[in-house]
A and B are shown apart, each in its own frame.
Chain A
């Protein structure tokens, strides 16, 4: 896999972040959407979840495009982040690049599935809750849907300095893990 895919700045990009309720999929999607807005793109961010506050399948989507976005649901995802086992089955046949948390999910479902230990990395940097942003960091390293600078600006606009830096650290760790993975697998 090429770690430096074509820069997608001027193309439509579609992202899915899936897991179970409470893993911060919607938050991660809004950070990506904010970053895309900073780059002058149009965005549509949607989500699907059940009636439980935590647990159960839940996913968030982001579509980014220089043009107007009509249909609001992702049809051809460029990248899917899978944060736990409950979401694996839904994407077992996808042709999109999948980044999955291999500290929580045993196996990927094909050559397009790439495992990184998002939850473990988050715990190592001191906050298990930021696994979602570790995954976003890995994703932007691999796909370039938005730039690192835009993500960091989006985070800094959302949080006070101390909290922002913890989240930026999660992005950095995710990017580093993706870089290591790419070097290892070529």
Chain B
């Protein structure tokens, strides 16, 4: 801990991480438990030469950050489950138009408006599949104030690098938690910017990618004039219904993420090398899992924890590796249906000895809840 360590809330760390990454535009519609992010942006962004806009709703918020990002300004919004539902249509457009931007979804209890002030981890599938059409996404779930900061910086970097929306989705516990944290000095964490075109403005093609690289992205307002549409488009950004073009474009939207999963998929493992029981968890529940594992180790049980930081693309390879030698897998998450557990079964096969620990009443999972499954 350095001398500049101070008490910082998860939501504050997200806002500060966004500023650190270079974000200078925020548009949003406040919703519990994400509101602190809008509050901080409204106060701090103007001081940084940036812009804060309170919008009439979440649809407009997504529209505004797409437009702002296309002018070359790193842009983001923050919401919670009910607002995130409303953002899906325009989020799909950002995916199709390959617009870099970051969406923060502080997960609260549903369904619908549910328990507004209580935590959950029930948006995993909405993060992945909330939009129509077959597309993919990057989604990250931090578990501490430090990770809120670092993973927001990382989210902007990934969005710029791969020209894609990235979602940061802490649960309410992590968003509202305060911890001591020393904000890194400029330069301590890497910050990436999108690649801009360097050739002549005439004939610039905003979707002319080569190999596994995304196409350089010009800024609206510059000498490069270009078109972005949510409909199928060719290299020049204009409508193109040719099947070969469609196949190439859809595949590229997936491949630019899948083929770089090594840069994107982040997990942390704790004592997994010799473990008989592997606990898989994310967000605040990863902390619970580590506390339960530490308690179990005192009793001689060999328990390891795999914390998922990236949720999408799903860390299936990492789970398969971590589970090696274990006789049992416990998946703990704050939802009823076992959204992560389902993906773990997909990775390990239906014969896996898997126990689910779930909470779906707005209350957190305790170490005792997980310890019960170790017997």
Contacts and interface: CB of A to CB of B under 8 A. Distances in A.
Interface of A: 30, 33-34, 37, 40-51, 69-73, 75
A31 to B, nearest CB: 10
Given A43-B178, A45-B179, A34 B366 contact: no
A161 B290 CA distance: 43
A57 to B, nearest CB: 12
Contacts of A50: 117
A71 B288 contact: yes
Interface string B139-179: 00000000000000000000000000000000001001111
B288 to A, nearest CB: 5
Contacts of A34: 6-7
B178 A44 contact: yes
A19 to B, nearest CB: 16
A163 to B, nearest CB: 19
B173 A72 contact: yes
Contact of A46 (B6, B176, B294): B176
Interface string B287-310: 110110010000000000000000
Interface of B: 1, 5-7, 32, 116-117, 173, 176-180, 284, 287-288, 290-291, 294, 364, 366-367
Contacts of A37: 5-7, 180
Contacts of A49: 117
Contact of B287 (A40, A72, A75): A72
Nearest to A34: B7
Contacts of A47: 176
A30 B116 contact: no
Contacts of B366: 71, 73, 75
B173 A70 contact: no
B173 A46 contact: yes
B235 to A, nearest CB: 49
Contacts of A43: 7, 178-180
A72 B284 contact: yes
Given A45-B7, A73-B364, A30 B287 contact: no
From DSSP, what is the main secondary structure of chain B's interface residues? mixed
A150 to B, nearest CB: 13
A42 B177 contact: no
A150 B176 CA distance: 24
A70 B288 CA distance: 7
Contacts of B177: 44-46, 72
Contacts of A51: 32, 116-117
Given A33-B178, A42-B1, A45-B178, A70 B117 contact: no
B243 to A, nearest CB: 51
A142 B121 CA distance: 39
A44 B117 CA distance: 19
26 contacts: A30-B7, A30-B178, A33-B178, A33-B180, A34-B6, A37-B5, A37-B6, A41-B180, A42-B1, A43-B179, A44-B179, A45-B177, A46-B173, A46-B177, A46-B178, A47-B176, A48-B117, A49-B117, A50-B117, A51-B116, A70-B288, A70-B291, A71-B287, A71-B291, A72-B177, A72-B284
Contacts of A71: 287-288, 290-291, 366-367
A45 B10 CA distance: 11
A47 B178 CA distance: 9
Contact of A70 (B1, B178, B287, B364): B287
Given A42-B1, A43-B7, A43-B178, 20 more contacts: A30-B7, A33-B7, A34-B7, A43-B180, A44-B177, A45-B7, A46-B173, A46-B178, A47-B176, A51-B116, A51-B117, A70-B291, A71-B288, A71-B290, A71-B291, A71-B367, A72-B173, A72-B287, A73-B364, A73-B366
A70 B292 CA distance: 9
B1 A40 contact: yes
Contacts of B178: 30, 33, 43-46
Contacts of A73: 364, 366
Contacts of A69: 179
Contacts of B1: 40, 42
A41 B173 CA distance: 21
A70 B176 contact: no
A101 to B, nearest CB: 24
Contacts of B176: 46-47
B274 to A, nearest CB: 20
Nearest to A71: B291
A71 B288 CA distance: 5
A47 to B, nearest CB: 7
A30 B1 CA distance: 18
Contacts of B367: 71, 75
Contact of B294 (A33, A42, A48, A70): A70
